[in-house]
Amino acid sequence: MMNYVTKRPYSGANAATLAAANVDQVVTFKQAVRDLGVSGKNMKGIKACARLFRFGKDVDEEGNKKMIWFSVFDVQEVLARKETA
């Protein structure tokens, strides 16, 4: 389970989430638009395959780093939309 654009593997809970979703490579919405050249209109209707998280720089009132959630999409579905456009 890796990010298609950055070629970096996911680890920890994010890797487990992607394993449960049964996908090999994923991209975020912004990566699909910016790096793969898929228009936002063509992304419409593609269901996110997982919601992953990362830790931000900000901390909450207890001193813990805040979690930032983001959706990822199966790269095969995204590339299929690019080819049909």
Residue numbers of the domain that contains 69: 2-84
Alpha carbon distance 15, 1 (integer Å) = 6
pLDDT of residue 40: 86
pLDDT tens digit sequence for 4-51: 999 999 999 999 999 999 999 999 999 999 999 888 888 888 999 999
Alpha carbon distance 10, 77 (integer Å) = 19
pLDDT of residue 55: 93
* Total number of domains constituting the chain: 1
Report helix, strand or coil for 26: strand
**Mean pLDDT in residue range 50-54:** 96
Phi, psi (5° rounding) for residue 30?
Answer: -65, -40
Taken in order 34, 36, 41, 70, the sign of the CA dihedral is negative
pLDDT of residue 42: 86
